[in-house]
Amino acid sequence: MCQLLGLNCATPTDASFSFTGFCQRGGATDHHADGWGIAFFEGRGLRLFIDHESAANSRMAEFLRSYPLKSKNIVAHVRKATIGEVSLENAHPFTRELWGRHWVFAHNGDLKDYFPKLHSAFRPVGTTDSERAFCWLMQELAKSHASLPSVEELTHTLRELIPQVTRFGTFNFLLSNGEAMWAHCSTKLHWLVRQYPFSKATLMDHDWTVNFAEVNQPGDRAAVIVTTPLTSDEQWTAFEPGELKVFVDGVVV
């Protein structure tokens, strides 16, 4: 299956440290070598980079590791193809517009025989179960709310919609609109918050240790959500199966 990485931050933050370790799982330290992608929200704008090559060997991924883009919401994905061929249109994250906002979605898991009814406003471009699920979520959110609702209202609606997808299989996902980040666990997902007083962290998949106390200010804070912990010396918390969390400004709300 695939792996997910999300950052939700109080101040614009770069993902170089986490993304460097995460990329190694795309073909070097793990077998998720069937494409990758990363999305950075910048205000109402969005920078999206996707590739059907492996993250560990991609020149684009190498560029992004050395060219830190700062964002308050970042979603990344490395893919192990199960449903849908290895191609650019099947690389996560996927994006759609709703209520004049960009939405970004990445999924880990398989949804067997999942072909929901979709109207013309939200249609998949590729052939993955993941993109079909994203289109259906966007469609149902649009049906439920006439305009952009509060984070609390969106969370309530998502809690009602998710069981209609999970009955088809595994539905670990990250979803963000640049204001908040929703993370749902079917089987495996972990999180932590890096905040003052900061400490050192050492990547599991790459020889790199950072002392965050030397590079952050007291007001900085970042929630990191990942399929499998990225570091060996930080306290990661596992999601409960079926749990949905929403993060705003690096805090669970």
Question: So which residues are the catalytic ones?
Answer: 2
Burial 62-75 (b: 16+ CB within 10 A, else e): eebbeeebebbbbb
CA distance 160 to 166: 11
CA distance 144 to 120: 17
In 196-232, DSSP assigns E strands to: 200-202, 209-211, 221-226
- Residue listed under structure tokens 């020149």: 59
Length of the chain: 253
Burial 28-40 (b: 16+ CB within 10 A, else e): bebebbbbbbbbb
Q: Which of 253, 235, 196, 227 is nearest to 6 (CA)?
A: 227
